[in-house]
Chain A
Amino acid sequence: MTDFLKPYAGGVYEGRARGKFQLYTKNAAPGFSVYGEKTMSDDNGTEYRSWDPKRSKLGALYQKKLRVPLASASRVLYLGAANGTTVSHVSDILAEGGGIVYAVEFSERPMRDLVMLAEKRNNIIPIFSDASRPELYFPIVEPVDLIFQDVAQANQAEIACRNAAYFLRDGGHLILSIKARSVDVAKNPKKIFTEEIKTLEKNADASFKILKTIDLAPFHTDHMGVIAVKNLKE
């Protein structure tokens, strides 16, 4: 069994499971495990859910000790929400400070799971739409502090910029997980990463200052995590 937990980053806790370092978030819907992850309770009966960095790009960023610009009061736009594995942890973090997450997903199979997750948690707004067309869900989403994007499409950086133009407040952050295999199966991942970063820095819709880039190996292969801040308009 795990021993005590201590705060790791805003809303994220660290502990040990079977002698190994393990991240946790405070379960916002106690009694429910979202994707079969292990839960544990502390002495006060508060439930925590373990966060597997291999199943979540955001979890991997935390585990790699990066300063993740996600606060518990943040308003978050999450593109490529899939089944809600990572969204559920974001929801846990936001539940501690009244934040809200807009979860966009385009595929109906994972969306079914996501709606059921949103029914159990009061800070997830599900949106069944194409992340590359922000004008479709502009009438739903308010300006946000953070855009997290994990979509498997070829023009990942461009999609991020387009969404930032519509939703990201000045000085807001972007966390982007670039999957090289989705951009081009044949190209060298390093080359792809450089090109995508260039798009982020110089795009007509919104430009970013890159704060940190990191290879997500060994948790995810051929993936790069990017943390960036939107340039202020002078």
Chain B
Amino acid sequence: MSDFSGSEEKFESVFSAWFGTVAYGGDFYLSEAPLVSASSELSDRLISALSSSQNIRSVSSFKSVLQKKKPDYRKQAKEAGLADSDAEYAAALREIMIQTVRKQLSASITEDKKVISAVEALDDLNETVNHLTERLTEWYGAYYPELNLPAEAYVRFVSEIPESASQSLMGAPATREDLLLLQSFADDILSLYERKAAVEFFIETKMKETAPNLSQIAGVVLGARLLSMAGGLKNLAAMPSGSVQVMGAEKAMVKHLRSNAPSPKHGLIFSHPSLNTAPFRLRGKIARSFSAAVSLAARTDYYSGALNPKIESGLNDKISRIKQAALQKGAEK
């Protein structure tokens, strides 16, 4: 088969159109035998030819020509015997584009997109689990008010030995029927706790694979949330770190832009211990360094993929310097 991307020497005047190679010499014309045969191979070629930087450059160079003349693909395709009617032209183009887009879509679900789905599922799971656990404590509490355990242990207790409710002095007397219902309810919640752990494990392994630097700086869950909010690793890498800093504080940001409200110091990143344990006065400064490190990490992950421990040590140095400076300033006063 002939080369779909066009000949090298006539680069400025040739580009790949969806049905073959089009050239320009005063007018646009079909320069190479068209390749339409609705095969899956053709859509593969189309994807790579259309996105090749050479083709893009070539097309861009026509911009001024297009003011006067535009290529008539329909006419060219008909003359080449690819389509006899407008309907046939549309049918051929539609078929190949549907195939092309299907392939592009399946390739667009990259590893970071999977992490995003998982972290969004994790948030839903957290909410549901907390809600149901609260309901169970309320409900079983009527039978055994003295029982005081942390959430997951409480659920496990009810699922295993609900009969111990009969030891309670304050609680309502429990029938076998009541307890069976509560026990199966607790079983269900417990399986959600297990699911949650599985999702967390998935996020952790996937994050360490696809975004090792981001995971190291922000931690896996916060890192995944940042990815989710930015819409992917590519987007997060392309984002200015000032945006990363206030991501998740949009409401405050808009308020700041519209009126003379103070700008938000941090958004999502506040959930990181280096921020939420920092002294109030230093949080803005630390947030700036932290988000700069997050950006750097995301960019390293996107463009190189290898772990660079210098990012973390650099950030730690910066934070300790900020704290040191504040201490000195305090001492001077």
A residues near B (Cβ < 8 Å) are: 98, 100, 108, 111-112, 115, 118-119, 122-128, 135-140, 142-143, 165-167, 169, 185-186, 205, 233
Contacts and interface: CB of A to CB of B under 8 A. Distances in A.
Contacts of A233: 67-68
B109 to A, nearest CB: 7
Contact of A165 (B22, B63, B87): B63
A165 B18 contact: no
A140 B97 contact: yes
A185 B253 CA distance: 10
Contacts of B131: none
Contact of A136 (B51, B105, B254): B51
Nearest to B16: A139
Nearest to B70: A143
A174 B319 CA distance: 53
B72 interface: yes
A131 to B, nearest CB: 15
Classify the secondary structure of A's interface with B. Answer: mixed
Given A139-B16, A185-B254, A186-B258, A125 B70 contact: no
Nearest to B87: A98
Contact of A108 (B71, B100, B108): B108
Interface of B: 15-18, 22, 49-51, 55-56, 59-60, 62-63, 66-68, 70-74, 86-87, 90-91, 93-94, 97-98, 100-102, 104-105, 108-109, 254, 257-258
Contacts, number: 87
A122 B100 CA distance: 16
A143 B28 CA distance: 13
Given A112-B105, A124-B94, A135-B63, 11 more contacts: A108-B105, A118-B97, A122-B87, A127-B101, A128-B100, A128-B105, A135-B59, A136-B56, A138-B59, A139-B16, A165-B63
A128 B104 CA distance: 8
10 residue pairs, one from A and one from B, having the closest CB atoms: A186-B257, A143-B70, A139-B17, A135-B59, A142-B73, A108-B108, A128-B101, A128-B104, A138-B59, A135-B60
Nearest to B19: A139
A139 B63 contact: no
Given A136-B56, A139-B15, A122 B67 contact: no
Given A135-B59, A139-B17, A140-B18, A169 B101 contact: no
A143 B258 CA distance: 42
Contacts of B68: 233
Nearest to B74: A142
Contact of B94 (A118, A137, A139): A118
B102 A115 contact: yes
B68 to A, nearest CB: 7
A198 B320 CA distance: 51
Contacts of B63: 135, 165-166, 205
Contacts of B22: 139
